[in-house]
């Protein structure tokens, strides 16, 4: 009896320990409608589209929508797209969002040294946006984004302390506001600055191109910002995990993957259907490679481990659907490789998904910025049908995107050289 009690206590402790270290649930849910609200950095539609592609490829069966509503020059009071109330009522609330991200501050600081009146205006205006969204949509989940950095790393600050220090003061306010009002919080500054410093030490010339004008990151810089947002949302690192025992002709591990038809002949082969696709990273782009190597993007968001043990000594070429994707010694395969870092058919499929992400967002931007807003006072009878037709066109592309994100069964072979 005593042993049984000890066993039950041990089991309970083990389950508690596992629960304590379990991955927190991803912040987005089935049916969510996400609106990204912000200034020109959001208007670039880069960190937002990287985020969308990650979500669509990692959760291909999740039904949700994402709308990218950034406008260049925006402050908490509004900007070129109109006063903030116009922006909220035209560009956010009509989509009935369940999730809104807000990234403002870059323009609000005035590109000058810290000033208390400027800070107070930002704080009051940001709180007004949050209060308005909560009043109009009481169930909305808001992620306050601590603003992305002004680059005082690869170039000398323009004044003592630098402008990014001003943005960090704004970030401190947002951290407190998030705690007070139970908002989500994403820091798009700290980790990007750390990556800038690492990149600058490795390759100063290219590091300066990550945020070429010190304000607007290039695509590689936006990739790091997307990582920060996704990590704040508890995005899982794992795409899939498989371990094959070649001697036993068996898949001894298969997480988020389904393995069948394991056979051994001059190596080993099997069929694998994953639940998700990797995040597409074009490592041939030197800027993307620099950003990835200067950050923990792969470790944090793009793990697709494959281990194969029980192979005879030698070097093996991994083929997926007949395409060679790499050659490895048996001991390396036993230790494990990360498929997400290889030019696999799955990565190519994910890149096709990202192309469709960009396409549907370009259609939306054209509909909104080139037709809806400039013609909102026109009385032409064809305006509303034209907007509806563009909405239908975007919906068609979104359906293509979701279909393209569904993983396919792939034939794997490890052939001895």
pLDDT tens profile 92-129: 999 999 999 999 999 999 999 999 999 999 999 999 99
Residue 1 CB-density burial (10 A; 0-12 exposed, 13-18 middle, 19+ buried)? exposed
What pTM does this model have? 0.93
User: How far from 180 is each of 104, 176, 351, 385, CA to CA, in Å?
Assistant: 19, 6, 40, 44
DSSP secondary structure letter of residue 76: T
User: How far from 229 is each of 54, 138, 193, 303, 411, CA to CA, in Å?
Assistant: 11, 23, 15, 18, 34
DSSP secondary structure letter of residue 278: P
Q: How high does pLDDT run on average in the chain?
A: 94
Give 176's Cβ-side CA count (13 Å radius): 8
SS3 364: helix
| pLDDT one-digit tens code per residue, 180-237 | 999 999 999 999 999 999 999 999 999 999 999 999 999 999 999 999 999 999 999 9
Please report which confidence band the pLDDT of residue 5 belongs to, taking 50, 70 and 90 as the band edges. very low
Instruction: Report pLDDT for 63.
Output: 97
Please report which confidence band the pLDDT of residue 10 belongs to, taking 50, 70 and 90 as the band edges. very low
Residue position matching structure tokens 């290219």: 206
| Rg of the chain, C-alpha, whole Å | 24
Reduced 3-state DSSP string for 143-170: EEEECCCCCCCCCCCCCCCCHHHHHHHH
For 184, the token pair is 């989500």
SS3 328: strand
Please provide residue 232's backbone torsions phi and psi, each rounded to the nearest 5 degrees: -65, -25
Task: Set out the domains of the chain in order of their start, with CATH numbers.
Answer: 27-232 (3.40.50.1110), 240-275+304-417 (no CATH)
């Amino acid at each position: 009896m005593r042993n049984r009690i000890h066993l039950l206590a041990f089991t309970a402790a083990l389950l508690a320990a596992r629960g304590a270290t379990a991955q927190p649930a991803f912040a987005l849910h089935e049916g969510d409608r996400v609106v990204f609200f912000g200034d020109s950095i959001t208007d670039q539609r880069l960190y937002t589209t990287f985020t969308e592609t990650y979500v669509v490829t990692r959760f291909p069966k999740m039904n949700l929508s994402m709308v990218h509503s950034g406008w260049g020059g925006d402050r908490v009071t509004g900007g070129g797209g109109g006063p903030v109330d116009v922006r909220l009522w035209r560009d956010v609330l009509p989509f009935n969002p369940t999730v809104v991200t807000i990234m403002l501050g870059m323009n609000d600081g005035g590109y000058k040294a810290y000033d208390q009146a400027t800070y107070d205006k930002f704080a009051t205006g940001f709180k007004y946006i949050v209060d308005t969204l909560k009043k109009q949509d009481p169930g909305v989940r808001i992620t306050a984004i601590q603003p992305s950095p002004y680059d005082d790393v690869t170039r000398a600050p323009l004044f003592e302390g630098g402008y990014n220090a001003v943005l960090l003061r704004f970030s401190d306010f947002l951290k407190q506001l998030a705690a007070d009002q139970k908002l989500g919080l994403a820091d798009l500054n700290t980790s990007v600055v750390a990556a800038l410093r690492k990149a600058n030490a490795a390759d100063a010339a290219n590091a300066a191109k990550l945020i070429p004008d010190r304000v607007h990151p290039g695509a590689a810089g936006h990739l790091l910002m997307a990582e920060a947002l996704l990590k704040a949302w508890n995005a899982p690192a794992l795409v899939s995990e498989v371990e094959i025992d070649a001697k036993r002709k068996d898949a001894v591990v298969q997480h988020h993957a389904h393995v069948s038809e394991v056979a051994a002949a001059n190596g080993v082969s099997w069929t694998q259907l994953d639940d998700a696709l990797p995040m597409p990273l074009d490592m041939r782009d030197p800027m993307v490679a620099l950003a990835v190597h200067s950050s923990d993007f792969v470790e944090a968001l793009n793990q697709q481990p494959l281990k194969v043990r029980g192979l005879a000594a030698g070097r093996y070429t991994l083929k997926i659907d007949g395409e060679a994707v790499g050659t490895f010694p048996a001991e390396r395969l036993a230790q494990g490789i990360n498929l997400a870092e290889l030019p696999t058919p799955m990565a190519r499929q994910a890149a096709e998904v990202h192309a469709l992400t960009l396409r549907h967002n370009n259609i939306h931007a054209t509909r909104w910025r080139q037709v809806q807003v400039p013609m909102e006072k026109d009385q032409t009878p064809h305006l509303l049908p034209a907007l509806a037709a563009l909405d239908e066109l975007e919906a068609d592309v979104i359906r293509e995107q979701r279909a393209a994100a569904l993983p396919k069964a792939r034939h794997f072979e490890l052939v001895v050289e």
